[in-house]
Chain A
Amino acid sequence: MKLSDLTQHAGEWLRGSGPRSEVVISSRIRLARNVAGFNFLSRCTRHQRQVLEQKVRQTILDASLAPQTLYVDLEQAPEVDRQLLVERHLISKPHAAAEGARGVAIGKDETVSIMVNEEDHLRIQVLRSGLQLQEAWDQINKVDDQLESKLDFSFNPRFGYLTACPTNVGTGIRVSVMLHLPALKLTGEIEKVFRAAKDLKLAVRGLYGEGTEATGDFYQISNQSTLGRSEDEIIEDFGDSIIPKIIDYEHHARKTLISEKGVALDDKVSRALGLLRSARLMATDETLLLLSHLRMGVHMGRVKDVDLGTINELFLLTQPAHLQKIQGKKLEGDVRRAARADYIRARLNGH
């Protein structure tokens, strides 16, 4: 598998057919692990960092965790490739921007990725479409077991898995669910979800994690605490109580919109579709927002002739690095906005 193969399609997590996909875009679980006998990365020399990268890379490739594992050496990779991996949620923004020996291993269907030398020596991630936390946990737990049979991870009976930042210590687990909540946004009730989440010690973030704004009504909700509760308990809270409740609120808000503001709702959705089908210049943020309204319209049965798979692909393939990879050249400013608009028009008008 080559990196450029990725631009031909959207990853498994954007299939749009997972459970509760009308609201839940994806479920992600990440585990932070460090190799015993090495300092954390902030106190590694250039040489130690290289030794670590080689050791972990070799272990991952030998373990053949997924068929056709692709390893990308991020120190060597051009910027557009690193950006592409961020857009696909396979690496974090800081990992793309960092310096020194580092890389990422990606399984063929892109459900598993392992970042090497991010903030911790290993950041194992499983990303799946819809609400599939239990499945994601079973999958990542197996990958962790496999790696653990080859590598000694830093572990202490009191503090659990030891991590560079104490906010990840213990289980090292970060559970994140990406939600599409357009109706709660439109009815002005999204703030309540934020406040509730904050009181539950959950973090709410934008599409691309920490420090990013929520664009196009997409929100990522994750656990903050990683110590003192087991992986099962953390996942159960998320999957069995918190997320289903938020989904119910979104459904409720959608019903209310249909019954109280049906015409205004259809106007919003139709305008989104109209703009997407005819505009000549499209910025990233505007695209996200319009696609968000369209996605809501499709799920609510207000739009019949567009399918969800198309919308999901458009979300991904219209982002800067993807557009440039598809066209095979650098695109900037109005040229890029024009290319984006052309691409969207072609897809939505069935060309």
Chain B
Amino acid sequence: MKCENCNKTATVHLTEIKGGKKYEKHLCEQCAAAAEGLPVKSHMPINELLTNFVMAHSGLPAKEQSLTCEHCGITWAEFRQNGLLGCPNDYVAFEKELTPLLARAHDGATHHVGKQPTRRGGSGVPMKRHVDIARLRKDLQKAIEAEDYEKAAKLRDQIKEAEG
């Protein structure tokens, strides 16, 4: 799409409502800035933000199926329609179908990393708090780089203990 003012590529798309009617405007960055009243030269390397965080998209979600959760009765098709699951068991009942969806929503990830409850849900049985060893190793590396040897020693002990 071309800018309405000049002939550059339009990257800014505005919707204006005037007198109850909707108007769409397609402008390039310069013209959009001018329309705002205080244009200045473009100078900031905002795209640098991206370089460290490029991500890959994964495949499309699985086909709708007549799969049903025997606990709450929700079907896979119903879930796909409103986006909300019916009960915790759905994560087990639809595990195969959910996995590609989760990967798409979470930057490719399909496994939890992070906090864990001290008691396992429902049973009241105490659970050993999971230690994220990969995370500790990363922190250790950082501590060594920062020459914070006291912290590094502590982290080394934690890793040893976690690895049993």
Q: Is the CB of A231 within 8 A of B55?
A: no
B46 partner residues in chain A, CB cutoff 8 A: 189, 192-193, 196, 245, 249
A281 within 8 A of B: no
Q: Is the CB of B114 within 8 A of A170?
A: yes
| A165-B106 contact given A148-B117, A187-B39, A193-B46, CB 8 Å threshold | no
CB of B33, distance to nearest CB on chain A (Å): 2
CB of A49, distance to nearest CB on chain B (Å): 14
Q: Is the CB of B85 within 8 A of A257?
A: no
Q: Is the CB of B42 within 8 A of A160?
A: no
A261 partner residues in chain B, CB cutoff 8 A: 38, 40
Q: Is the CB of A225 within 8 A of B29?
A: no
CB of A156, distance to nearest CB on chain B (Å): 6
Q: Is the CB of B107 within 8 A of A201?
A: yes
B124 partner residues in chain A, CB cutoff 8 A: 152
Partner of A228, one of B43, B92, B113, B122: B113
Which of A9-17, A31-39, A318-326, A335-343 lies on the face that meets chain B?
A31-39
Q: Mark A245-288, 1 if CB is under 8 A from B, else 0.
A: 10001001100110011001100100000000000000000000
A233 partner residues in chain B, CB cutoff 8 A: 135
A193 partner residues in chain B, CB cutoff 8 A: 46
Chain B contacts with A in 48-63, Cβ cutoff 8 A: 48-50, 52-55
A167 within 8 A of B: yes
B132 partner residues in chain A, CB cutoff 8 A: 230
CB of B60, distance to nearest CB on chain A (Å): 15
B146 within 8 A of A: no
Q: Is the CB of A36 within 8 A of B122?
A: yes
CB of B54, distance to nearest CB on chain A (Å): 8
B32 within 8 A of A: yes
Q: How far is the CA of A201 from the CA of B53 in the complex (A)?
A: 9
Q: Is the CB of A40 within 8 A of B86?
A: yes
Partner of B85, one of A37, A155, A164, A265: A164
A312 within 8 A of B: no
Chain A contacts with B in 173-204, Cβ cutoff 8 A: 173, 185-189, 191-193, 196, 199-201
